[in-house]
Structure 1
Amino acid sequence: MFNFYFGVAFALVNFILFLTCYKWFGRMGLFAWIAAATILANLQVVKTIEMFGLVMTLGNVIYGTIYLATDLINEKYGEKEAKKAVWFGFFTLIMTTIIMQMVLVFQPHESDVFQPHLEAIFGFMPRLVIGSLAAYLISQYLDVKLFAKLKKKFSRPDQLWIRNNGSTMVSQLIDTVIFCTIAFAGVFSWDVWIQIFFTTYVIKFVVSAASTPFIYIARSFHHPEDLQKPGV
């Protein structure tokens, strides 16, 4: 049960840091969070753990906060800014991949002890990145569009939980299908792949529901840019 209890604490730390980032840095902080989260999620996903007898990968919590960030941007600053944030995260992931693949090409000095560790992490990264880029771009754009549509139908401030969870839970299902297929098909046995797919989506579902109070808290924060006319 250690992984479960530690996982709850881990999720709370992610949410608190997310709120802190937005509280201190405003809209710029949300963009920075998305950039950092796209990188961290792809680093964490190479680690598998067991919880309740099922195999799952890490990275789902921090990845879930990306949807939290884009939904918050959509809510406060408009669909246009949310799309810009999606592209910002997309560029960050591509930039990281290109730079780190070039880093691996350098011939290490005979005293170097870190090249194997870098290769272990970033050598597998291209496949993860291909899966992540495809899943990220498709699911995030779907999330932005769904949130905007739900915002028109459920426009009351107290209905934010419908906009947030409705758009996120649908788009994350698509994200999980695309990512798990590209990144892990043929890497793990079929039964392990099914477990990873199932647990990945369940964790994302739980994270989305658990993040609801935090998006309400974040929406209550006020920054100078909140007075600007939001993009559409």
Structure 2
Amino acid sequence: MNELLWIILLLINFGAVLLAFRFFGKTGLYIWVAISAILANIQVLKTVELFGLVATLGNIIYGTSFLATDILSEIYGRKEAQKAVWIGSFTLVITTVIMQICLLFIPDASDFAQDALVTIFKFFPRIVAASMIAYVVSQSHDVWAYEMWKKKFSSDKQIWIRNNLSTMVSQLIDSVVFCFIAFIGVFEWNVLLSILVTTYLLKWVVAACDTPFVYIAKKMVDGADGEMHTLKSESLA
């Protein structure tokens, strides 16, 4: 059951990235990066069994942030992709600060959400600290690596090479940094290492699956540019 839900969630997340790009352009990708930064750090608190292995949730939606920056790198360049990284970082910091203040409010007798919020957001600062460091390091590497590989493999047919080479290494960096900062002292070493391995494997699968969506995004832009050129030609005629 978990495996089926994971595949469905994968398709929904990737589809949502393309919809955000289709309707709002690069602004939509910036919005998605902010959404993924918040949701990934909440989902990661839940551990599940997937394909016979223990893993945390959040791998898919976090992986889509790499998809978003890769699309930005491919179409708009390194500067716009790096801007998305800073937007995600800003979102994490502000969310943490605001929620920590919210937890300080004394709940009314009728309140039913305080305990649940405490369970999630009291642990949130450590998760965010781990995520912030891992996020900035890995995403910045991804943006840099994508640009580097784009110079070596520059044709549209080679998008899959630069996308996978940049993302898969970046995901490894992210997994190692995040798991050790977030979960040392929380889980036994064998559980922590199991989470690290399975987290990276799942992120690797997500990274491999996102490649067609970079091509689709590129085609969407090329198609829109072609249509605009046709309209301009017709108006001049």
- TM-score, structure 1 normalization: 0.94
Aligned to 1:122: 121
Q: Does 1:178 align with 2:177?
A: yes
Look at both structures and tell me which one has the larger radius of gyration over its CA atoms. 2
Instruction: Report the Cα offset of residue 186 of structure 1.
Output: 1.1
Question: Structure 2 regions of 5+ residues with no counterpart?
Answer: 229-237
- After superposition, residues 127-206 of structure 1 pair within 5 angstroms as 127-206=126-205
Spell out, residue by residue over 1:50-101, the C-alpha distance to the aligned partner (whole angstroms, 9 max, x if none).
Answer: 1233210000000000000001101100111111111011001101000000
Distance 1:15 1:84 in 2: 21
Q: Percent identity?
A: 54
Distance 2:52 2:188 in 1: 16
Amino acid paired to 2:189 = W
Q: Distance in 2 between matches of 1:42 and 1:78?
A: 27
Paired amino acid for 1:219:
K
Deviation at residue 187 of structure 1 after TM alignment: 0.3
Counterpart in 1 of 2:82?
83
Q: Could you list the runs of 4 or more consecutive aligned residues of structure 1 that deviate by over 4 angstroms after TM superposition?
A: none
Per-residue CA deviations over 1:142-196 (Å, capped at 9, x if unaligned) read 1111001000000001100111110000011011010000001110111111110
Quote how far apart the aligned CAs of 1:111 are. 1.5
Gaps of 5+ in 1: 228-232
Alpha-carbon RMSD: 1.2
* Equivalent position SS for 2:55: strand
**In 2, distance between residues paired with 1:221 and 1:103?**
42
Residue in 2 that maps onto 1:64:
63
Which amino acid counterpart does residue 8 of structure 1 have in structure 2? I
1:5 positional shift: 1.6
Q: What whole-Å deviation, never above 9, does each CA across 1:87-140 have from its counterpart, x for those lacking one?
A: 011001101000000000111112111110110111110010000000000001
**Inter-partner Cα distance in structure 1 for 2:215 and 2:52:** 34
